[in-house]
Chain A
């Protein structure tokens, strides 16, 4: 199972919105509404930000939103803040009953 494709890096200024894409295939992203997004700060464990494409766990800011179109899922962060600077990973359930992660995207807040 190949990793999902994410841009290596994205950047934005405080207050702006950014979107991170996550491209898979019809055997993973496109085939199921089981896409998740994780935020990871350096030296820390990942944190679940979005699950099942667009659902936010309790306690996650509503500045974070998720969507999906075909084989590509997206994470949008609005009103960018300094503390949003981190690595972001998407993941998806697959037709092989496994899970696959994206390669990760480094978000820089300028």
Chain B
């Protein structure tokens, strides 16, 4: 079964850091680009960022709201994607979803979603 499982969420103080993990199974992780999407409580979806596969340089793209603070990386040997979140703000409070991208080059459609992990930024 194709599956994504996020972990690492929790309560963190403003200004601190947190790293989320996304463990993939059921498909060849290294062949796919991956993306993170978040959803604040009671709000809509917000795209966070995207990482291409190594075959396409493993390069990344980010939303303006997180650029310079968040970093996406991947470990294909472990089938894990990471979201490193630094300098967290209260407005980063959200459920964070890991997703598999259908396209390699651009953040287009996301066909597989994890169950999400909640991140709460509060003092």
Contact = CB atoms under 8 A, between A and B. Distances in A.
Given A45-B116, A46-B113, A34 B106 contact: yes
A99 B111 contact: no
Interface residues of A, number: 24
A21 B15 CA distance: 39
Contacts, number: 65
Interface stretch (A12-20, A78-86, A90-98): A90-98
Nearest to B49: A98
Interface stretch (B40-48, B68-76, B82-90): B40-48
A16 to B, nearest CB: 25
Contact of A101 (B46, B50, B103): B46
A45 B113 contact: yes
Interface of A: 1, 3, 34, 36, 38, 40, 45-48, 51-52, 57, 89, 91, 93, 97-104
Interface of B: 35, 37, 44-47, 50, 61-64, 97, 102-103, 106-111, 113-116
